[in-house]
Amino acid sequence: MGTNETSERLVEATRELLWERGYTGTSPKAVQRAAGAGQGSMYHHFAGKRDLALTAIRRTAEEMDAAAGSVLEGEGSAYARIEAYLLRERDVLRGCPVGRLTMDPEVIADPELRAPVEEVLDRLRARLAAVVREGLESGGPSGSPDPEETAAAIVATVQGGYVLARATGSPAPFDSAVRGLLALLAPLKPSH
């Protein structure tokens, strides 16, 4: 088994455990067990739990950023791209792997662990604001909402939708929140 393969298994196991249990609930022993790696292997590749978690959080943030970018920077009208972002396949009942980290006091208290979370959410809001601005410039209604505030509302709706879905054990509240938001964003639809 190669060194890179072991390192990769450790990172992927940590990503899953962070999503499922959060930072506080993710022990080095659980990571080693999930990765099928010994303690020596873990400490050969990473300085400790925090170093491994930082690598895993960065990877999760990068994947979230790439997935959002591929939809929001793709083809179609501004409304169509926002709609595609909101309706894309998600594991709603597991919650957002990045958003869930904001609920972990140890992640929030540690500026280095928090940085990738904060950065990816900032990039998401900026991307959404750019798409909203584009939609408004190509014929949106006069007196339109502020693009940055609209972007913040979109992110808040998605993250809040995850919370509501997890609280009820059903994706229905998430789906309802997305449908409501799309109705509010209808003025961004192209009129032709």
Contacts 24+ apart (CB under 8 A), 3-7: 3/44, 3/45, 6/35, 6/37, 6/41, 6/45, 7/45, 7/46
Identify whether the C-beta of residue 123 lies closer than 8 Å to the C-beta of residue 115: no
Report pLDDT for 136: 86
Contacts 24+ apart (CB under 8 A), 64-72: 64/96, 64/97, 64/98, 64/120, 64/124, 65/120, 65/123, 65/124, 68/123, 68/124, 68/127, 69/127, 72/127, 72/128, 72/131
Report pLDDT for 1: 47
Q: What is the mean pLDDT of residues 47-53?
A: 93
What count of other Cβ atoms lies within 10 Å of the Cβ of residue 5? 10
Report pLDDT for 191: 74
Report the Cα 18 to chain-centroid distance in Å.
13
Tell me the pTM: 0.90
Q: What is the mean pLDDT of the chain?
A: 92
**CB half-sphere exposure, 41, CA atoms < 13 A:** 19
Q: Can you give the residue ranges of every domain in the chain?
A: 3-188
- Tens-place pLDDT, residues 81-123: 999 999 998 999 999 999 999 999 999 999 999 999 999 999 9
> CATH assignment of 3-188?
1.10.357.10
